[in-house]
Structure 1
Amino acid sequence: MPLHQYVYFALSSRRITAQEITDVLGIAPDETKVVNPRRLPVDAANPFCQVWKVVCREPGLCVDEQIAHVLGRLRSRTDLIAELMRQYNSADDEEPGLDARLEVVRYFNDDERQDEAGQPQDRQHNLFGWALDREAIAFLAATGAFLDVDEYDMAPSPLSA
């Protein structure tokens, strides 16, 4: 079964920009994104939400290896991330000012994708099983981040008669 997967750690906010996050953490993100799901009129200086991401899309790695890669880049900044979370998430606020998450995205039966070597994903070692180690759980707890796992079956739907 072909499998395409990647992992990222994201900080999302309506109150702090991706550039401000970069300045505080001293780490350049792999990706940034402006999110405006309701297509509201947006002032460029104050978009609906900005997302700062560190990403691992390396093919052939298990999810736990991808997580280790992402968190390996962030671990030395754990205290800074935790401080940002405290600063932008007071108990008095109605909604969080800063959201932290570790995201796992997996596409099963993804026949359209192949790894960089041109080999179908199913010819690689088994990528299906994964686990969070103690260090990953400790990082999530220390930073106040949550884990989100999205899995999609890309197999064609059977035709209805």
Structure 2
Amino acid sequence: MPLRQYVYFALSSERTTAGEMAAFLGIEPDETTVRGSRRTTPVALPASHRWKVVCRESGLRVDEQITKVVHRLWPHTERIAELAGRLETEEGADGAAVLQIVRYFNDSEEGTERNLPVPLDQPNLFGWHLDRDVLDFLAATRAVLDVDEYDMTPETTGSQGEAV
């Protein structure tokens, strides 16, 4: 079963920009979003500013991707926790820090075949766990864990590729 997955740690705010977050932390993000409108026309714009450190490295289990992200951020845990706490006090904040896991099952890229057996030398990408260091980091930064999983099998997906 083809699987595409990635993880990221993000700090979000309606008022504090990703640039301001980066300046406070002294860490340049891998990706950012700029707050905009929730309208979907002509194009959907994010509801909040977002500062992200991302791992999209294929061939790794989710826990290995998480470990790469957390190990990059670990030396900055105190500053991240301080900023996350400050962002949480903003009006309307729903939790400023998140460790996001996104997985797309049955998501074959063009030119690949579905349902081919996984070679024995490839790791099993389906199982994963959170080790103590990751849990300690999430607790210290008051981050929530958000896991999104989508079944992209053609007969079960809607027009936007969303699981139904």
**Pair in the same fold by TM > 0.5:** yes
Partner of 2:24: 24
| 1:139 partner amino acid | F
Give me the TM-score of the superposition, normalised by structure 2: 0.80
Percent identity reads 57
Partner of 1:3: 3
Deviations 1:17-50 (CA, angstroms, capped at 9, x unpaired)? 100111111111000012435239xxxxxx8411
Partner of 1:44: none
- Residues matched between the structures, number: 146
Pick which of 149-158 and 120-129 moved more: 120-129
Indicate how the Cα distance of structure 1 residues 152 and 48 shifts in structure 2: closer, same or farther if over 3 A, else same.
closer
Deviations 1:49-70 (CA, angstroms, capped at 9, x unpaired)? 1111000000100000000000
Give the alignment's Cα RMSD to 1 decimal: 2.5
User: Does 1:128 pair with 2:107?
Assistant: no
Deviation of 1:3 after TM superposition, in Å, equals 0.5
Secondary structure of 2:155's match?
A: coil
| 1:60 partner amino acid | G
Partner of 1:77: 76
Partner of 1:68: 67
Q: Which one has more relative contact order, counting CA pairs under 8 Å at least 6 apart?
A: 1
- Residues 1-161 of structure 1: pairs in structure 2 closer than 5 A: 1-39=1-39, 48-90=47-89, 94-96=91-93, 99-112=96-109, 122-123=118-119, 124-157=122-155
How far apart are the structure 2 equivalents of 1:140 and 1:113?
36
Indicate how the Cα distance of structure 1 residues 121 and 13 shifts in structure 2: closer, same or farther if over 3 A, else same.
farther
> Do the aligned residues in 2 keep the contact of 1:11 with 1:51 (CA within 8 Å)?
yes
How far apart are the structure 2 equivalents of 1:34 and 1:69?
25
> Do the aligned residues in 1 keep the contact of 2:100 with 2:146 (CA within 8 Å)?
yes
Secondary structure of 2:154's match?
A: coil
> Do the aligned residues in 2 keep the contact of 1:88 with 1:97 (CA within 8 Å)?
no
How far apart are the structure 2 equivalents of 1:83 and 1:114?
47
Unaligned runs of 5+ in 1: 41-46
